[in-house]
Amino acid sequence: MNTGIDAIAYDIAKIHLPIKTLAEARHIDPDKLEKGLGLIKMTLPDTHQDTVVFAANTLTRLIADNKLNPADIARIYVGTESAIDNSKPIGSFLVTLIEQLHGNDSFLHCDVVDFTFACIGAVDALHNCIDFVRLNPGKKAIVIASDIAKYDLESTGEYTQGAGAVAMLVTENPRIIAFDNNWAVSTKGVFDFFKPYRTLAKKEITNIEANEPWFDNLEAEIEIHKDQPVFDGQYSNICYTDRTREAYFSFKKLTDTKGSLYNNWASIIMHLPYAFQGRRMFSEIYALDAEAPLLTGNETSEDYITKVKEIGKSEEYKKFVTDKLQPAEAASSLIGNLYTGSIFMGFLSALAEYERKGIDVTGKTFGFLAYGSGSKSKVFQGVIQPEWKDAAAQSNLFKTLERSTAIDFETYNKLHKKEQEYSVLAPVNEWILDKIETELPNLTGARYYRWVE
C-alpha cells in the first residue's frame, strides 16, 4: 500500500517588504541579499493574523478544495514553533473554528496535537501521520505547518522573515507523492537557535526594592515572551550541515544504496531559511558522495573547507543546483522563511516549476533533507504520482505570490513593533483574530477568531 501526500493547500501573508527596500534602509548592498542569498520579498503578517489564522485558512481551503467530509478526517497534526499558548495547541483552536463552517461537533472525534522541534516539527507530524495511515488503511490525516518567522530589527536574521502555512492531506494511494518507509535521523542537543523563557527583575521596572504585586504578578521576576529567537547564525549553519550530512549518509546506509545517493533523486527538497541556503549547505555532501569522491578525508581542516568552497563554485555543481535544487528555491525567494512550512513550500514550488516548464516528473524519486535547530535532521524520499500535475496547476502558486502587496519601510517598522493599529489590507474570505480577552479573570488571554466574507 502506498502512503503519502494526496493534496496540498497553503496560505501566505498577503503583504511583503521588498528586500531591496530593507537593504537600502539597513545600508546593505541589495545584491548581497538578492543575488547572494536569493531573497526578493519578505512576507509579513497583518495585524489580524497569527499562526492560528494562517493554519485555519489553509485547513479551510484544503477541506473545501477536496470536498472532504469532516467525519473522514481522523487527525489534524500541527507543526509549529510559533505557538500562541504554552498549553492549548493550535490544533484545538482549529477544530473549534472549522466547526463554525461545518457544524457543531463535526470534528468531535478528530485527534489533534502540535509538534514542536524548530523547523522540523511539521516533518515529525508528517512522519507520524504516514505511519498512522499505513497502520490504518482508509483513514485520512491532515498535517499543517504554520509559522511566523520574526527576528529582531537590524539583526542578521531580519531579512529572512516570512509568514504563512501549508496543509497536506495524508492518505493511502495518494495523488501527489508516495513515501517509502525509510527515514534516517541525526539528533544532537545544541543551542544554535532557540526561544528561551526570558526574565527581568521586577524592581528594574517598578524601581521598588520590595516585591510588591505588579499587574497581578506576585513573583520577583517578570517573564517576557518574545517571538524573536536567540541564535548564532554561523554556528547554526554548521549544525545544519553536520546534522544533514549525518542523516544523509545514514539514509544511504539504511537503503543500501550503491554509488551516489543524490543521483537517484530527480529533485532535492531542503529546509530553506533563505532561498539559497540549501545549495550552500549541500556542496559538502555533493563532494563526499560523488561517484568519484571529490574529497579524500585526509585534507587538513583548512584545506577541506577551501575545497568545499571551490566545489560549490564549480560549473558542475552550478548545473547540479539548477537541475535538482533550484526548482524548490523559487517560492522561498518570494516568501521568506516559513520555518516548519519551508520544506513543504519548497516541494510545492518544485512541482509548480516543473509543471510550468512542462517537465514530467511522474514516477521520479524526490529526496527530502529536513532540518530543525536544536538540532535534528531527517532524510526521506518519495515517488511522484501521476496526478501531481493537476495539484501543481490548481495551486496557482506563483500567480498568487505575484498578487502580494508591497509595503513601505515605515509600515514594516510599525507592524514589527506592534504599533500598527489597523490592518494594512482589509481581510476578505479569511479568518481573523477578532479579540483577546482582557477583562474576565477566568478567560484572560483567550483568543477569539471569526470568519470574514
What is the number of helices (H) and of strands (E) in the chain? Answer: 15, 19
Do 78 and 213 have their domain in common? no
Do 209 and 184 have their domain in common? no
- Alpha carbons 320 and 335: distance in angstroms, whole number: 24
Does the pLDDT value for residue 297 go beyond 80?
no
In this prediction, what percent of the chain has a pLDDT beyond 70? 100
- Alpha carbons 295 and 312: distance in angstroms, whole number: 13
Cell of 13: 501573508
Do 90 and 75 have their domain in common? yes
- Alpha carbons 346 and 331: distance in angstroms, whole number: 7
Do 186 and 199 have their domain in common? no
pLDDT digits (tens, 9 = 90+) for 55-77: 999 999 999 999 999 999 999 99
Do 201 and 212 have their domain in common? yes
Do 32 and 88 have their domain in common? yes
Neighbours of 206 (CB within 10 A): 13
Q: What is the 3-state secondary structure (H, E, C) of 149-195?
A: ECCCCCCCCHHHCEEEEEEEEEEECCCCEEECCCCEEEECCCCCEEC
- Alpha carbons 231 and 194: distance in angstroms, whole number: 6
Which pLDDT band, with edges at 50, 70 and 90, does 292 fall under? confident
Place of cell 477578532: 434
Strand residues in 96-139 grouped as ranges (E): 111-115
Do 332 and 345 have their domain in common? yes
- 3-class DSSP assignment, residue 71: helix
Could you give the number of structural domains in the chain?
A: 2
pLDDT at 107: 97
The CATH number given to whatever domain includes residue 130 is 3.40.47.10
State which residues form the domain around 27. 3-192+232-452
Do 101 and 217 have their domain in common? no
pLDDT digits (tens, 9 = 90+) for 105-133: 999 999 999 999 999 999 999 999 999 99
pLDDT at 309: 92
pTM of the model: 0.97
Listed residue (392, 415, 263) closest to 328, CA to CA? 392
Final residue in a domain of this structure, among 202, 224, 246: 224
- Name the average pLDDT for the chain: 96
pLDDT at 1: 85
Does the pLDDT value for residue 262 go beyond 80?
yes
pLDDT at 299: 87
Do 164 and 207 have their domain in common? no
pLDDT at 345: 98
Do 445 and 365 have their domain in common? yes
- Alpha carbons 234 and 222: distance in angstroms, whole number: 31
Final residue in a domain of this structure, among 204, 224, 244: 224
Do 117 and 200 have their domain in common? no
Place of cell 585526509: 298
pLDDT at 20: 98
Do 92 and 216 have their domain in common? no
Strand residues in 67-158 grouped as ranges (E): 73-79, 111-115, 140-149
Which pLDDT band, with edges at 50, 70 and 90, does 23 fall under? very high
Which pLDDT band, with edges at 50, 70 and 90, does 298 fall under? confident
Paired with 78 in beta bridges are 114, 144
Neighbours of 194 (CB within 10 A): 14
pLDDT at 216: 85
- Alpha carbons 64 and 69: distance in angstroms, whole number: 9
297 versus 434: the higher-pLDDT residue is 434
Neighbours of 111 (CB within 10 A): 14
